[in-house]
């Protein structure tokens, strides 16, 4: 029986993608309710300048709150070494830095080319090591870029190797723009694993073109054991207006549990968490089939003990 980690990224990736700011108390209720449903890891925010992303201004407060929840791994995204220091000061359990495989996207997103980002990764890794914090690198736009189109798989492999040399302890492959297909997922996982081994553990997938869960299955077949998702698919996709964005946590958990994989997440409790978002952000588009259709009649017979 395989254990699969579902990492909830909605409080960061979801909320930073929408204009409205969710009240701090609602964020706390969301995080606490997901943890109570059995979610073991939550990305609670991002240490970026509040002027740029006011949605993330309360990240340090959320870290302090979430660290009080027994058994929950509290992680944040950091864009650079300065953010890494803020995360370390807040006492996060883990931090992740995005490293865009498309240099055009990297320059537009964080104003740094690949060489400059590798230096930021090295500096952030040093900070994390000094504070005993797990440090991961997200290989963003690994499957394609809305500015460059196709991204060379050999380039992804080369940059992953460079990031490992700079101090990364773990990697995720991120389908930032929703370009991935199952064959590409299998191929790229194999290639990156060939370079960095089991340091590649995670897929961060979007459902922009309806291929999210198919790509999860492809990842499972290649031995991936961690998947990022956002409750209600919150956040949409800024590169495809009107399309769903992040992989929907509810649909992912239904599928994994139904397949007999062990997530430790109670789907019935998880489905109730959606109400917190609906009340705090009325009218915000939420996605997912499971909240409407509910689980299958034989769902409990399918799930792992």
| Catalytic residue positions, numbered | 237
Q: Please state the separation of Cα 23 from the chain's center in Å.
A: 21
Q: How many residues does the chain have?
A: 305
CB atoms within 10 A of CB 269: 14
Backbone angles phi, psi at 53, to 5 degrees: -135, 85
Distance CA 46, CA 55 (A): 9
3-state secondary structure of 148: coil
DSSP symbol at 177: T
CA-closest candidate to residue 18, choices 273, 250, 177, 245 = 245
Q: Are 78 and 44 in contact (CB under 8 A)?
A: no
The CA distance from 222 to 85, in Å, is 34
Q: Please choose, from the candidates 241, 239, 264, 240, the residue with its C-alpha nearest in 3D space to the C-alpha of residue 253.
A: 264
- In three-state secondary structure terms, 73 is strand
Which of these, 262, 254, 263, lies nearest to 298 by C-alpha position?
254
């Amino acid at each position: 029986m395989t254990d699969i980690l579902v990492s909830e990224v909605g409080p960061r990736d979801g909320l930073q993608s929408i204009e409205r700011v969710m009240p701090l108390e609602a964020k706390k209720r969301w995080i606490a309710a997901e943890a109570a449903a059995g979610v073991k890891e939550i990305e609670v925010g991002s240490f970026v300048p509040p002027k740029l992303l006011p949605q993330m201004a309360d990240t340090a407060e959320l870290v302090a709150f979430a660290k009080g929840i027994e058994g929950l791994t509290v992680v944040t995204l950091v864009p650079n070494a300065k953010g890494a220091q803020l995360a370390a000061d807040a006492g996060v359990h883990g931090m992740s830095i995005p490293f865009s495989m498309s240099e055009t996207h990297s320059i537009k997103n964080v104003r740094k080319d690949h060489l400059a980002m590798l230096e930021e990764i090295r500096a952030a890794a040093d900070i994390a090591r000094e504070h005993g914090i797990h440090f991961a690198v997200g290989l963003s736009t690994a499957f394609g870029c809305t500015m460059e189109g196709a991204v060379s798989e050999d380039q992804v492999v080369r940059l992953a190797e460079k990031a490992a040399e700079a101090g990364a302890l773990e990697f995720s492959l991120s389908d930032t723009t929703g370009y991935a297909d199952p064959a590409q997922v299998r191929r790229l996982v194999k290639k990156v694993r060939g370079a960095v081994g089991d340091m590649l553990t995670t897929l961060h997938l979007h459902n922009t073109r309806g291929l999210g869960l198919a790509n999860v299955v492809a990842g499972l077949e290649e031995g991936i054991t961690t998947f990022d998702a956002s409750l209600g698919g919150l956040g949409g996709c800024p590169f495809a207006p009107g399309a769903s964005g992040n992989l929907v946590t509810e649909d992912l958990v239904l599928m994994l549990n139904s397949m007999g994989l062990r997530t430790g997440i109670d789907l019935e409790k998880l489905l109730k968490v959606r109400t917190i978002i609906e009340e705090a952000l009325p009218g915000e588009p939420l996605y997912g089939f499971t909240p409407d259709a509910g689980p299958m009649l034989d769902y409990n017979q399918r799930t792992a003990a």
